[in-house]
Structure 1
């Protein structure tokens, strides 16, 4: 944007500031839920979560968001697993959690990565339990028997299919495709096989209320595995892109305490950089930049953010996305941002 063009980017009207108390209250609520969740994991409690606890807060509800979530829940009502695919930072995870919470069923969370295997999904033997039995049926005669019993621990997928929970599998495509073979029988035959488990307990019948929402980055992202076609054929694929300008402004406004025109400037800059740069510039980048601009106040005499402050803050936010080469890559990024701003 040229200097005179920057004068046109002003958004006039009444300054609207979100209630700081409300936002602090939301942060406190999320921190309390996080601590409760961590405590449950440490004590070995079930991975089942109450839907009210996993609902994103804050979560922006615009027509675009409501329409997309309604589409997801519609497919879930049709008993179809939904795979959300899109660029990083576009809000896939928050959307998946919101859709899962709206169902009102317990929620089970899995985060995909290279370490996830079949046992991490369905469960495994976790050592044995050793105890002794004393038999003193005949007076004066003591018989002692040592018994070793293997202890099996169910992991998230087994819990979700048995309890009829909504499974939210985040970063699904970052896990090894071989780990997902167990999902074929879940979605096709309605049966989960638990390798390593013996006897009648080897399989679990899938609860009729079990549903799955998976999220993945687009295939061009590093660390993404192509999953087997036999499994992908059983999914509904919903592409999630960056939201419209109005929704992005509402999302940023829900996370920071800034004037309406400042938020509009940040979102406008984010969307311009998204078009001009080779790196991914998601809505998350806009939120981070807005948080920075609440600290590094660089308003000029007209009340707008000055171009140098915008350039510096967005360079800091996006610098981790470029490979360092004696600072040259960051310098090049800064010059691109400055030109766009």
Structure 2
């Protein structure tokens, strides 16, 4: 009788080989599971890095040297009251009157992180909610049969959240500065956020398209009250969902305190600067009126001179207060007007 030899090595179970069932998917090996775990962890780390990067870019700094006179305190309390009730607040006022600083102060009082964005004519909905701007590449290689090679590459889009999405997801305060400089169609996404408490992301699909707004979410928007160039009229449907707080330039004493707090100049010099700014404000049309910011800029310039004469004072005032003139004849007239006001303040004993 002839004996046959059997190669027992071929009968051993090889744990590295994949078991394939007809019509079904194969089981994953330990190496594949570990690789998948690492890829999942890498994606999570990438998402965390994206959020940290966006927060570092958009998280709002604290208001510096905020002055709270009775007038300022009344405005601040009003904005905070409506924000606390859950309504978005729309602060409307002339340029340079302190709208942005007020919004920052209220956000700081709420004791929550705040994200910030500036409106402009080029802004789109993606600038508010986010967009796909990262790509993750995955490669799958199958060598189950030694002489057959299969390769599959998958490219996945990576989503990056922008300020509105961050605020809605994590309960941040959302500060939208110069809201009226953005075209109305870009702001349509705010309608469902303010009314239904749901953020709809147009470029996503399925369940990812909708985000429930966090209960701590707050919104403060600012707009100019004057029809400057590049300002759009927001849609009525959006304005109806916000509480409008109208503000004007602060009173004389408040502007003096702000100039002192921001620059450290003396009370006497702050009063003289503010008087000049306010006098010019009374003589110019609305779109050219200088704001409190102009007084701060003059005070900062004079402080850097560290001792100045009449000529330096006049030159510094003119340089700041002529910033809204374009034509030579307008600049000449502004110089004459500023000099006239400076002489008036001298005569008045300021």
TM bin (shorter chain): 0.7 to 0.9
Listed as ranges, the matches of 1:145-224 within 5 Å are 145-224=152-231
1:314 corresponds to which of 296, 314, 317: 317
1:98 corresponds to which of 105, 113, 123: 105
Between Structure 1 and Structure 2, how many residues are aligned? 291
Superposition RMSD in Å: 2.3
1:320 is paired with a residue of what secondary structure? coil
Residue number in structure 2 paired with 1:7: none
Unaligned runs of 5+ residues in structure 1 are 1-41, 300-305
Contact 2:58–2:115 (8 Å) recurs in 1: no
Residue number in structure 2 paired with 1:71: 78
Contact 1:122–1:155 (8 Å) recurs in 2: yes
2:122 is paired with a residue of what secondary structure? coil
Residue number in structure 2 paired with 1:125: 132
Higher relative contact order (CA 8 A, sep 6+): 1
Contact 2:58–2:163 (8 Å) recurs in 1: no
TM-score, normalised on structure 1?
A: 0.79
Q: Deviations over 1:16-62 (max 9, x none)?
A: xxxxxxxxxxxxxxxxxxxxxxxxxx977343369996221121122
Q: Deviations over 1:104-152 (max 9, x none)?
A: 1121111111121011111122253222012345677553221121222
Distance 1:154 1:244 in 2: 41
Distance 1:317 1:153 in 2: 40
Query: 2:340 matched to 1:331?
Result: no
Residue number in structure 1 paired with 2:245: 238
Distance 2:134 2:53 in 1: 18
Report the Cα offset of residue 248 of structure 1. 0.8
Q: Deviations over 1:180-210 (max 9, x none)?
A: 1111111111111111111210110111111
Residue number in structure 2 paired with 1:248: 255
Give the greater-gyration-radius structure (CA): 2
Contact 1:113–1:174 (8 Å) recurs in 2: yes
Change (3 A) 1:317 1:170: same
Report the Cα offset of residue 328 of structure 1. 2.0
1:333 is paired with a residue of what secondary structure? helix
1:209 is paired with a residue of what secondary structure? coil
Contact 1:80–1:235 (8 Å) recurs in 2: yes
Residue number in structure 2 paired with 1:285: 294
Q: Deviations over 1:147-196 (max 9, x none)?
A: 12122222111111011110000111101110011111111111111111
Q: Deviations over 1:51-88 (max 9, x none)?
A: 99622112112222122111101001110000011111
